[in-house]
């Protein structure tokens, strides 16, 4: 039996991107979001492998150390031109730095691909 490619999912929200990967034959082995309602929806509709918590506070030791793919859509509201208020928060918007958490997980898990 052929092994399904494994996926780590960051900023998973309710699991829209994850569902697409599952339907394409991938195995989501770990997911994370910090919004409780999103995690409840994900758990109910996809699986309970999602972790509720702030990714900046989750140590590498609690994240699988290998996966074929890392996926995630880190928040862009702080720097997106679609946000007319972005200039009000500027560099103080901590969401602007969450891409670093994605880089940390990619470095930690050494996937073949990341999205």
Known active-site residue 76: yes
Q: Which of 22, 29, 76, 106 is an active site residue?
A: 76
Concatenate the DSSP letters of all residues of 26-88 into one string: -EEEEEEES-HHHHHHHHHHT-S-EEES-GGGS-GGGS-S--SEEEE----TTT-TT-TTHHH
Dist CA 5 CA 78 (whole Å)? 33
User: Is the CB of residue 31 less than 8 Å from the CB of residue 51?
Assistant: yes
SS3 14: coil
What one-character DSSP code corresponds to residue 7? E
The set of catalytic residues is: 76
């Amino acid at each position: 039996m052929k092994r399904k490619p494994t996926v780590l999912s960051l900023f998973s929200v309710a699991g829209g991107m994850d569902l697409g990967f599952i339907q394409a034959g991938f195995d989501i082995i770990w997911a994370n979001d910090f919004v409780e309602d999103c995690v409840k929806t994900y758990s109910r509709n996809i699986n309970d492998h999602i972790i509720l918590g702030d990714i900046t506070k989750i140590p590498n030791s609690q994240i699988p150390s290998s996966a074929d793919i890392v996926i995630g859509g880190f928040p862009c509201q702080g720097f997106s031109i679609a946000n007319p208020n972005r200039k009000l928060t500027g560099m103080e918007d901590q969401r602007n730095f969450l891409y670093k958490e994605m880089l940390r997980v990619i470095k930690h898990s050494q996937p073949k691909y990341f999205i």
